Amino acid sequence: MNDPYRTLGTGYAGQRRPDPRLAALIDDALGRARTVVNVGAGAGSYEPADRSVLAVEPSPVMIAQRPQGSAPVVRAVAERLPFADKCFDVGLAILTVHHWTDPARGLAELRRVSHRQVVLTWDHAVMSRFWLVADYLPEIAEAERELPERDFIAEHLAPARVTEVPVPHDCSDGFLAAYWNRPHAYLDPAARASISSLAKLDPSRVEQAMRRLRADLADGTWQERHGRPGAADTADVGYRLVSSPG
Ligand SMILES: C[S@@+](CC[C@H](N)C(=O)[O-])C[C@H]1O[C@@H](n2cnc3c(N)ncnc32)[C@H](O)[C@@H]1O
């Protein structure tokens, strides 16, 4: 099985610690579910401790980072879930659908095995306006234009409800726009290594963009454009929860 997370996943659990405020939103979306299948579960972020959870994850590197005592995990892919129809209350998928080889098939499988579905994704149009993308690395928006995000997922889970997921200024889960108010964080190669949108780009191009960000921070250009780092509580940087009704 080809595993991009063999390199991308190294150090993931350290950089991508689940954020309690996002966990509360996801928990709320799970509603009264007692049984949850978490597909593309990675190191187990956002798996609720008070419900029966089964994790599905193809990457051994990610499975190895699941903390002791976390939910049992089956090594499989979303496109072929080894479960009977409707045997879980909720099918959960967090920031994973864009990695699937066949997202439409994976979402159909998620629907087949669960009564309801809850998916964390993003809105491409909003994410494209995020300063790191718009000002420094617009090729991210270009490269990700065709990836399954809000509209694709909502269509495949229709009728679906889409809710905004505001990102706290001190978010502990280091995904692409997590550091919207901590620009210095992007200068750290370890933080960038756990963000697939950055890890997939030409490293010399990312270095060039980071040199410009460093200079803009040093001479106040960034602050002039975006305000003082640390100045606001939450921001809508494009993350969305798509959930299907019961
Ligand atoms: C960004 S990580 C998200 C992990 C976890 N859900 C989280 O929120 O931290 C994406 C995960 O999707 C997994 N993945 C990639 N292709 C997959 C597939 N076809 N089916 C299921 N999971 C897949 C990767 O191995 C990786 O663990």
pLDDT digits (tens, 9 = 90+) for 226-240: 988 777 799 999 999
Q: Give the Å distance between the CA of 154 and the centre of ligand 1.
A: 19
pLDDT tier at 176, thresholds 50, 70, 90 = very high
Average pLDDT taken over every residue of the chain: 94
CATH, residue 139: 3.40.50.150
pLDDT tier at 159, thresholds 50, 70, 90 = very high
Please determine, for residue 12, whether its predicted confidence score (pLDDT) is greater than 80: no
CB-based pocket (< 6 A), ligand 1: 5, 16, 39-43, 45-46, 57-59, 62, 77-79, 94-96, 99-101
**pLDDT at res. 232:** 78
Cα 20 from chain centre: 15
The residue segments making up the domain with residue 197 are 5-243
Q: Is the peptide bond before 159 cis (omega within 30 degrees of 0)?
A: yes
Find the mean pLDDT for residues 99-124: 98
For ligand 1, mutation pick of 70, 99, 192 (most atoms within 8 Å of CB): 99
Q: Give the Å distance between the CA of 43 and the centre of ligand 1.
A: 9
Atom number in ligand 1 closest to CA 175:
1
Total-model pTM: 0.94
Atom number in ligand 1 closest to CA 57:
22
Find the mean pLDDT for residues 77-100: 98
* 3-state secondary structure at position 79: coil
The number of distinct structural domains making up the chain is 1
**pLDDT at res. 15:** 82
Q: Give the Å distance between the CA of 96 and the centre of ligand 1.
A: 4
**pLDDT at res. 8:** 66
Of the candidates 108, 57, 114, 105, which has an alpha carbon nearest to the alpha carbon of residue 85? 114
Find the mean pLDDT for residues 123-143: 97
Of the candidates 140, 145, 141, 147, which has an alpha carbon nearest to the alpha carbon of residue 205? 140
Find the mean pLDDT for residues 90-101: 97
**pLDDT at res. 146:** 93
- Would you state the structure tokens that stand for residue 35, as one six-digit string? 């049984």
Q: Give the Å distance between the CA of 38 and the centre of ligand 1.
A: 10
Question: For the segment 197-217, what is each residue's pLDDT rounded down to a tens digit?
Answer: 999 999 999 999 999 999 999
